[in-house]
């Protein structure tokens, strides 16, 4: 007699990660709500200012560097595409709209996630594995209020400012290639920018960067805060893995949110 076949494991294999995903999504949402609820509490101002320095000021040169090269590439690509239709005069508008609507908020967010976000995860993760978060708790200092809320506010302030820097420097990058190197008229370049760009484009770009700020900070702080619960390592290995997954998750969040927001804003 043949032994009875084991029931198919496929649904179970599908179900376990699905439950884990929903569990983690719920946990992240509660974490975010808890952090938002504690934004207005005493002694937050100095921590917010310190975090604006870390997230904003320390990321300035990276953003400027990426901004200028992005603008220069857009200038080059845009020129050689537009020249085929005899409309190279539209280069300023093409560069500015690409940057203000899409590339500025998205690339800034990705760069800040890589630089400041990874540092956030590593710092909070190390605090977790060295009992510093437990120490805060026993001193009756809420760790989320102390560590996460100021970072969220600082990101909400710093992300749009860095995005603005990225946009302006990117437009100058486009000017360098389009006007200085390829000879488009300078007045036409800026006239087209002024003509094509509306306040809706600018505010839409800023709305995106605020959303990205919340998502990136949430992903990075959450992964660091939960580093001790990871199953793929313990101690410093868990912090390393948490940092990697925070940056990956931030990038996924930014690109997914970008699609959703673009479809809403358009």
Partner 1 sequence: MSLDDKHITAKKSKAWDIELCDLRLGYGDTVVLEHVTDTFPGGKITAILGGSGCGKSTLLRHILGLRTPMSGQIYLDGRDIFTMPKKEFRRMRRRMGVLFQDGALLGALTLGENVGLPLTENTRLSKSVIRDVVRYKLSLVGLEEFADYYPNELSGGMRKRAGLARALVMDPPLLLCDEPTSGLDPINAAQMDQLLLSLKQEFPDMTIVTVSHDLASVKTIADHVLMLHNKTVIFAGSGEELYASEDPYVRRFLSRKAVPGKITGIELSSEVRAELDRWISQ
Interface ranges with partner 1 (CB under 8 A)? 43, 123, 126-127, 130-132, 134-141, 146
Task: Provide the residue count of the chain.
Answer: 266
Supply the minimum distance, in Å, between the C-beta of residue 130 and partner 1.
6
By C-beta, is 6 or 140 nearer to partner 1? Answer: 140
End-to-end CA distance of the chain: 66
Query: Is residue 250 within 8 Å of 219, Cβ to Cβ?
Result: yes
Nearer to partner 1, 143 or 170 (CB): 143
Task: Report in angstroms how near the CB of residue 135 gets to partner 1 at its nearest.
Answer: 4
Q: Which of 201, 217, 246, 245 has the alpha carbon at shortest distance from 105? A: 201
Nearer to partner 1, 142 or 262 (CB): 142
From the CB of 136, what's the least distance to partner 1, in Å?
8
Number of DSSP helices (H) and strands (E) in the chain, helices first: 12, 0
Q: How far is the CB of 194 from partner 1 (least distance, A)?
A: 45
CB of 141 to partner 1, least distance (A): 5
Q: Which is nearer to partner 1, 135 or 252 (CB)?
A: 135
Nearer to partner 1, 135 or 181 (CB): 135
The distance of closest approach from Cβ of residue 144 to partner 1 in the complex, given in angstroms and rounded to an integer, is 13
Closer of 123 and 167 to partner 1 (Cβ): 123
CA triplet 59, 65, 67: central angle to 5 degrees? 95
In this structure, how many other beta carbons lie within 10 angstroms of the beta carbon of residue 184?
24
> Could you give the angle at the alpha carbon of 66 between the alpha carbons of 94 and 164, nearest 5°?
65
* H helical segments located in the chain: 10-37, 45-55, 60-82, 91-97, 104-112, 118-129, 132-138, 143, 149-175, 186-196, 199-225, 236-265
């Amino acid at each position: 007699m043949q032994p009875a076949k084991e029931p198919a494991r496929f649904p179970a294999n599908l179900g376990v990660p699905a439950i884990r995903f929903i569990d983690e999504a719920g946990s992240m949402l509660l974490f975010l709500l808890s952090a938002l609820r504690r934004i207005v509490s005493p002694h937050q101002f100095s921590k917010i200012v310190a975090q604006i320095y870390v997230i904003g000021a320390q990321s300035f040169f990276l953003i400027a560097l990426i901004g200028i090269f992005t603008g220069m590439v857009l200038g080059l690509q845009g020129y050689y595409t537009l020249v085929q239709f005899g409309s190279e005069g539209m280069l300023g508008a093409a560069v500015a709209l690409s940057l203000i609507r899409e590339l500025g908020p998205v690339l800034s967010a990705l760069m800040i996630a890589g630089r400041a976000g990874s540092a956030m995860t590593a710092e909070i993760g190390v605090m977790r594995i060295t009992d510093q978060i437990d120490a805060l708790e026993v001193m009756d200092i809420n760790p989320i209020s102390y560590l996460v809320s100021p970072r969220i506010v600082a990101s909400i302030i710093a992300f749009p400012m860095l995005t603005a820097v990225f946009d302006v420097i990117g437009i100058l990058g486009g000017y360098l290639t389009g006007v200085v190197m390829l000879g488009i008229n300078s007045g036409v370049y800026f006239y087209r920018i002024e003509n094509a760009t509306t306040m809706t484009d600018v505010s839409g770009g800023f709305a995106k960067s605020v959303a990205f700020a919340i998502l990136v900070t949430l992903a990075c702080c959450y992964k660091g805060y939960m580093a001790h619960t990871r199953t793929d390592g313990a101690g410093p290995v868990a912090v390393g893995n948490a940092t990697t997954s925070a940056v990956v998750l931030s990038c996924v969040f930014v690109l997914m949110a970008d699609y959703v927001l673009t479809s809403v804003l358009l």
